[in-house]
Amino acid sequence: MSELFEFGKGILESQPFSVLLGTELEVFEPGTAVLTLKVREELKQQHGFVHGGVLSYLADNALTYAGGSVLGDSVTSEFKINYLRPAIGRKLVAKATVLSSGRNQAVCQCNVVAVSDDGERIVAVAQGTITKAGPKT
Amino acid sequence: MSELFEFGKGILESQPFSVLLGTELEVFEPGTAVLTLKVREELKQQHGFVHGGVLSYLADNALTYAGGSVLGDSVTSEFKINYLRPAIGRKLVAKATVLSSGRNQAVCQCNVVAVSDDGERIVAVAQGTITKAGPKT
Amino acid sequence: MSELFEFGKGILESQPFSVLLGTELEVFEPGTAVLTLKVREELKQQHGFVHGGVLSYLADNALTYAGGSVLGDSVTSEFKINYLRPAIGRKLVAKATVLSSGRNQAVCQCNVVAVSDDGERIVAVAQGTITKAGPKT
Amino acid sequence: MSELFEFGKGILESQPFSVLLGTELEVFEPGTAVLTLKVREELKQQHGFVHGGVLSYLADNALTYAGGSVLGDSVTSEFKINYLRPAIGRKLVAKATVLSSGRNQAVCQCNVVAVSDDGERIVAVAQGTITKAGPKT
C-alpha cells in the first residue's frame, strides 16, 4: 500500500459523512482516484433508485481525491453533474481523473458507474475544479 | 397545510436517504421550495465543516422540489454547484426557485445558507435542470 | 464617468472579439456589470434566433466583468449556462453580479435578457468562477 | 461525403454566426463531431489569447453537433465549460462525443484543443445537454 493511498484512506476515515455512507477508496494514484460505495436501502430515493444526492456526493468526493492526488489536501470549489440514467445495482464506482493542474487548482472529470448483476452502466458524469486547502502558495 | 406541501412531505418521507440525513421540508409552494437540515457530527468532513456532498445533496434535492412544485413528480437531470465558503453552523437552509419552466423541464436556482449563532451566511449556489418523471407528455 | 467604468470600457475596446460583435459596457460598478449587444443578422443561427454561442460569449464576458469589478484584471475560469428560451429581439442585456469574492477568485451569476418590441424576456442564466489575472497574491 | 456530413455542413452554412467566425465541420458521424476554427486577430481578447467566448461558442456548437448526430436538428439546453489554459495557436479543434442519449436529449462532452507550431494543447473541456429541436416525440 503506497504512502499516497494510506494518506487517502486516512482522510476518508476522518470524514464522518463518508463513514456514514460507507465509502471506500479503491485506487489513489497521481492523477486518478476511484471511490466505491455499496448500495443499500437507506441510500435510495422514493422510486427505489440510488438518490441523486448520493451520486453527487460520490462524484464530488472522487473529484476532490483526484485533485488531491496532485495538490495535497484539497477541497472542491465547484462541479457540475449530469445524471444519465437511474442508478440501480449493488455497488457504485466513481472514477475521477485530473485533466489539468497548476499549483493551486486542478480541473477533473469523473464517471460514476453502477454495478449490477447485468453488468456495469455509467449513471452520471461530473466535471469540476479542485483547490488546494489552506493558505495559497 | 396545503395539498402541495403534504405531497412534498410525503415524497421526502419516502426517500430513505433524506430520512437518513434528517432533511425537513419547510416551504413548498408553486415555484419555491425550502429544505432544511440540522448539522450534526456525522454530516461533516475531515476539517470539521459540513461535507460538500451534504451541501450538493441538499441543493440537488431543493432544486428537484422547486421543479417538482410546477412539474409534479420530477428528477434532477443536471446541476452545477459553487461552494462559496466552509459550511459551519447548526442548520442548513436550501432555498430553490424556478426561473423558467415548460411542460417537461424547469430551470431552477438554489442558495444554501448556513445558520449559526453569528447569523446566516450563504455557503453554496446551484443551478440546474429538473425533468418531469415518467413518460414525457 | 467613473474611473472603474473607463477602465472597463478600455478593456472592452482592446478585445478584438468584443469589437467584432459590437458589445457595449452599460454598467460597471463594484459587484455589478451590464453588457449589451445589438442583435444583427450575423449573430444568428439557422432558425433565426441569436446563436447560443453569442449568449454564452456575452454571459462569459459579463461574468468576467463582474468579477473584475472587485478583483481587477481577471479571466473566467469556468462557467455554466442554461438557455431558457430562443433569443429573439433587437438587443441583448447581460447583467452579472458577484455572489462571493476572495483575494483571487469571485463567484458570479448572470442573467441574459432579450429586449424586443414586446418587452424583455430572460433567455439564459449563467454561474461561474472568475480568477484574478497574472501572478496570484 | 456522407449524407449526415452534408446535412451538418448545410446547418453550419446556414448559421450566420458560424460563417462570421469561420467555423468548419471536420467530422460528423453518429456520436461524434469535430469543428475547427482558424485563429485570427479579431477572435482574441485583450491579452492576445483567443477570447473565452470563442471557445465557449465552439464547445457549445460542437456539443450541439454531437447531440444532433444522434437526435437530428437540435439545440443546446445547457453546458458547462472549464478553461484550462490560455488559448494560443493557429487553429482550434473542438471534438465532442455523445455519452448517453434518449429520444429527445443527449449528454455530451467536448474537448477544445489549440494547435500551434509547438503541438496541440487542450485548452477547455465542456459538458452539456442537447435537446432535439421542434415538437417533442
Distance set, CA A27 to CA A9, A34, A69, A75, A99 (Å): 10, 5, 11, 19, 17
Which CATH architecture does the domain made up of B3-132 adopt? Roll (3.10)
Chain A residues closer than 8 Å to B52 by CB = 57, 60-61, 64, 75-76
At C134 the pLDDT is: 75
Residues A63 and A13 sit within 8 Å (Cβ to Cβ)? no
For chain A, what are the domain ranges? Answer: 3-132
Tell me the three cell numbers of residue B48: 470539521
Residues A75 and A58 sit within 8 Å (Cβ to Cβ)? no
Tell me the three cell numbers of residue D53: 467566448
Q: Grid coordinates 412534498 are at which residue?
A: B8
B127: helix, strand or coil: strand
Cα–Cα distance for residue pair D134/C88, rounded to 1 Å: 16
Tell me the three cell numbers of residue C52: 447560443
pLDDT in tens, C67-117: 999 999 999 999 999 999 999 999 999 999 999 999 999 999 999 999 999
Give the pLDDT mean for C49-71: 98
Sign of CA dihedral C12, C13, C15, C20: positive
Minimal Cα–Cα distance from B55 to chain D, Å?
20
Sign of CA dihedral B8, B10, B16, B21: positive
At C122 the pLDDT is: 98
Cα–Cα distance for residue pair D94/A47, rounded to 1 Å: 38
pLDDT of B30 above 50 = yes
pLDDT in tens, D85-101: 999 999 999 999 999 99
Nearest to A131 by CA among A111, A112, A97, A108: A108
Q: Which residue in the set D100, D107, D125 is minimally distant from A107, CB to CB?
A: D125
User: Is the minimum CB–CB distance between D80 and chain B shorter than 8 Å?
Assistant: yes
Residues C43 and C111 sit within 8 Å (Cβ to Cβ)? no
Question: What percent of chain D lies above the pLDDT cut of 70?
Answer: 98
Confidence of residue C137 (pLDDT cuts 50, 70, 90): very low
The number of helices, as runs of H, and strands, as runs of E, in chain C is 3, 6
pLDDT of A131 above 50 = yes
Nearest to B23 by CA among B11, B12, B10: B12
Tell me the three cell numbers of residue D39: 485563429
pLDDT in tens, A86-106: 999 999 999 999 999 999 999
Confidence of residue D135 (pLDDT cuts 50, 70, 90): low
User: Is the minimum CB–CB distance between D85 and chain A shorter than 8 Å?
Assistant: yes
Mutate to test the interface with D, among A55, A81, A100 (most CBs of D within 10 A): A100
Average pLDDT, chain C: 96
At D134 the pLDDT is: 75
Chain B residues closer than 8 Å to D103 by CB = 136
Distance set, CA C125 to CA C82, D53, D80 (Å): 5, 15, 12
Contact across the interface for C80 and D75, Cβ inside 8 Å = no
Report pTM: 0.97
Tell me the three cell numbers of residue A126: 461530473
Q: What is the 3-state secondary structure of B87-114?
A: CCCCEEEEEEEEEEECCCEEEEEEEEEE
Confidence of residue A3 (pLDDT cuts 50, 70, 90): very high
**Torsion angles phi and psi, residue D86, rounded to 5:** -55, 140
Cα–Cα distance for residue pair B63/B76, rounded to 1 Å: 7
Distance set, CA C71 to CA B125, C27, C96, C131 (Å): 20, 16, 14, 8
Q: Residue A16: is it exposed, middle or buried by C-beta count within 10 angstroms (0-12/13-18/19+)?
A: middle
User: Is the minimum CB–CB distance between D84 and chain A shorter than 8 Å?
Assistant: yes
